[in-house]
Chains A and B, each alone.
Chain A
Amino acid sequence: MRIRSLQFPLLASALVVVGGVALTGASRPAPAAGSVSGTVTFTGTPPKMRPIDMAKEPACAKEHATPIMVENVVTGPGNAVENVVVYVSAGGAAGAAATTPVRYDQKGCQYLPHVAVMQAGQPLTIYNDDPISHNIHPMPKANPEWNKSQPTGSPPIRTAYAKPEFIPVKCNIHPWMHGYFAVLPTSHSALTGNDGKFELTGLAPGKYTITAWHEKFGTQSQEVTVTGTKAATADFVFKALPY
């Protein structure tokens, strides 16, 4: 199929929709501990979502019935912001890295998930599910950089990052493919979904700094005190510009 439509759906409608609690990310529930939850939203006008033109790679273009949109700013109902990494940046114990690998897929010439959240030292496994070759080029600053191709049918690439940082990831063969590895100092983290909601669980009582990171909007932090098993709230509001 041909993907070259640049018609932009009207997105910035001021609808208020209250969704259920949908959690993503690596938060692990721990009974008898507190939690922090909240919503990430924006004010202003976000950029129009542009469709990705995959005409160069027909094998991928035909995977998508309608073109997927550029993923740098993904918004949801109620001005929700998707793909925001919310994590405990200070307070509490870091804890040992989980040993369960984080899975990162290349499918239909798209990174799934767009942002892979992991703790420093946690294993990361990268799969190529496409019938074509991909190239993965994460561009860290603190960690060592590598750049590898992964032909179709190759075994997954197994790796891990030792130092916390947000690493842009690109495919050198398909320039539209961009994603992030969020390598965090903590296991207390969440990634917002289409409703912008997150919940960080298993927090012992105490003072925490909660940070929200978005690839385009930047970083915001706030102090939160967790007492007992009560859920504290921390909402984040980013300022969006149309360009």
Chain B
Amino acid sequence: MDIDQKFSPIRKGLLEFLVLKIVSGTTVYVADILKRLSGTEFATQEGTLYPLLSRLRREGLVDYEWQESGAGPPRKYYRLTAAGQSELAELDEYWARINKTVAALGI
């Protein structure tokens, strides 16, 4: 089992956190998110991202609005809601704690 596979559940769990982080900066659409993640360990695809975003929206963490694009049909631009902001702050804090623990246990 290679390292990639060992960490796959962790990467899977972190994906939501990272998407919230990306969305928190500016309003983005799906291709932006994919581009930000591509080339990282968290590179993902539309097939995974659309269902995830739809769940985040159902949970009230993100919302989207339609914006005309220069070429082609209007796109969904996602942004973080107030609930999303506080959720992201909690996640950030938790992630910092995990990092500290990992660092403290190691050499």
Whether both chains belong to one complex is answered with no
User: Which residues in B have some Cβ–Cβ distance to A below 8 Å?
Assistant: none
